[in-house]
């Protein structure tokens, strides 16, 4: 164990928890792990981790990371861990409300608490592609930064422990919408025999062009000024109508574009037809 190495407890050795523990071992930290099914600790023990028989045993470390499937499964484990006076970094995904609830509980127990969400897959942990967002106690975050940096780029968002979960869901929403749009596109071009292999490169370059629109949309949303001389909402709403009509004619489902069509049509009906697409946010809010 090097001079700057810490004792780190890891509660939960699912796909993600095992990746976190593995990265910490790779960085030379002294890692003590606990999992409901101890058998999953095997490969980590081979690499030098120690197995805790109970959550409380893993919680005697300098810092404890928790990564279980849900907040509901996590709560009894945290309660059993006897963390009073210790530092907990919660990396289980959930809602902002769930994160704030645990933060409140942690404060009542005298636990130093930071809530984090992992914007990466287990294979990315410990590589530059991983980013982990944090909210909660900035002092605790700063004190554990050396450990957190091992897992992925740490980004501190603010004192509200619910912020990381809020960002997580907002960012995942972008991912799911994009994937939904892409799958619809593959189904549509597939009706004429166009393969994913042929279509995907065009979708990729189109997506990077679409990404270029985001800063402008953000500026319009921030100012509430939706004037445009580029592309008005009514033209886009009409385009969505064409997509729904064509999808139906080609014999595929319309759920993905129909949801957006309904939203855009409502914004047009509310008087935003000549405005930019950014004005649709008025119907979402």
Q: Which is nearer to ligand NAP, 92 or 144 (CB)?
A: 92
Name which of residues 94 to 133 contact ligand NAP (CB under 6 A): 118, 121-122
Structure tokens at 166: 């809020």
> In Å, how far are 203, 213, 221 from 208, measured between CA atoms?
9, 9, 21
Shortest reach from residue 162's CB to ligand NAP, in Å: 15
285: Cβ–Cβ under 8 A, 6 or more apart, which residues? none
Shortest reach from residue 72's CB to ligand NAP, in Å: 8
Q: Which stretch binds ligand NAP (CB under 6 A): 10-18, 134-142, 250-258, 275-283?
A: 10-18
68 interacts with ligand NAP by CB under 6 A: yes
Query: What residue is closest to ligand NAP based on CB?
Result: 14
> Residues 24, 4: contact at Cβ < 8 Å?
no
162 interacts with ligand NAP by CB under 6 A: no
Size of residue set near ligand NAP by CB under 6 A = 20
> In Å, how far are 55, 115, 171 from 175, measured between CA atoms?
34, 22, 6
Name which of residues 19 to 38 contact ligand NAP (CB under 6 A): 35-37
Q: Which residues bind ligand NAP (CB under 6 A)?
A: 12-17, 35-37, 40, 67-69, 73, 77, 92-93, 118, 121-122
């Amino acid at each position: 164990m090097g001079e700057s190495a810490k004792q780190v407890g890891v509660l939960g050795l699912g796909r993600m928890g095992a990746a976190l523990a593995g990265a910490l071992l790779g960085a030379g930290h002294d890692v003590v792990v606990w999992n409901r099914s101890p058998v999953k600790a095997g490969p980590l023990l081979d690499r030098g981790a120690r197995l805790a028989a109970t959550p409380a045993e893993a919680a005697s470390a300098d810092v404890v990371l928790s990564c279980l499937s849900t907040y509901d499964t996590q709560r009894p484990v945290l309660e059993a861990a006897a963390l009073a006076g210790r530092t907990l970094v919660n990396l289980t995904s959930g809602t902002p409300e769930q994160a704030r609830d645990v933060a409140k509980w942690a404060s009542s127990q005298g636990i130093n608490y930071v809530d984090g969400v992992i914007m990466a897959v287990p294979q990315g942990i410990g590589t530059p592609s991983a980013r982990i967002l944090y909210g909660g106690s900035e002092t605790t975050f700063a004190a554990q930064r050396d450990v957190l940096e091992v897992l992925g780029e740490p980004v501190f968002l603010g004192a509200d422990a619910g912020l990381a979960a809020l960002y997580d869901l907002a960012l995942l929403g972008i991912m799911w919408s994009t994937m939904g749009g892409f799958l619809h596109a593959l189904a549509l071009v597939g009706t004429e025999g166009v393969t994913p292999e042929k279509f995907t490169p065009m979708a990729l370059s189109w997506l990077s062009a679409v990404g270029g629109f985001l800063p402008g949309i953000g500026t319009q949303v921030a100012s509430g000024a939706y004037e445009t001389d580029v592309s008005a909402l009514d033209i886009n709403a009409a385009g969505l109508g064409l997509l729904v009509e064509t999808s139906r004619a080609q014999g595929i489902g319309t759920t993905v574009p129909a949801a957006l069509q309904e939203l855009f049509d409502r914004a047009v009906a509310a008087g935003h037809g000549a405005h930019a697409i950014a004005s649709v946010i008025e119907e979402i809010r």
